[in-house]
Amino acid sequence: MSELVPYAVHYLFEGVRQHFFKLAEQFSDVDAIHSASAHAYPQSGRKIAAHATLDAARLTATQLGITQIRWNEAI
C-alpha cells in the first residue's frame, strides 16, 4: 500500500493569494491545477476536465481567474 504524502498548493485567485494542503500518494502539475480549481470553486466541483492536458488545464484555470499555481511536498 502506498503512503499518503502531504502537499502544499499555492495559487492566486483573482489576484489574492490562496493555499491549502492535500494528501495524495503522488502529485503532478495537472493535479495541482485541478485541486486549485476545486478549492477556488468548492460549490461547483471541478470546472477543468479530468482528462485535460497540462496546457489545456492551465488555460482553463487562467480563464477561471486561477494563476501562478505552485506546489511542493509539505514537510
More confident of the two residues 61 and 1: 61
pLDDT-derived band at 49 (thresholds 50, 70, 90) equals confident
Q: What is the pLDDT of residue 46?
A: 60
Question: Is it the case that residue 5 has pLDDT exceeding 80?
Answer: yes
- pLDDT tens for 12-26 read 999 999 999 999 999
The rounded distance, in Å, linking the Cα atoms of 71 and 29 is 8
* Position 33 in a domain: yes
* Position 1 in a domain: no
* Position 47 in a domain: yes
Phi, psi torsion values for 34, nearest 5 degrees: -60, -45
* Position 35 in a domain: yes
Q: 44 is in which domain, residue-wise?
A: 7-73
The rounded distance, in Å, linking the Cα atoms of 56 and 62 is 10
- Total structural domains within the chain: 1
Question: Is it the case that residue 75 has pLDDT exceeding 90?
Answer: no
Its pTM stands at 0.90
* Position 2 in a domain: no
Counting every residue, how long is the chain? 75
CB 8 within 8 A of CB 74: yes
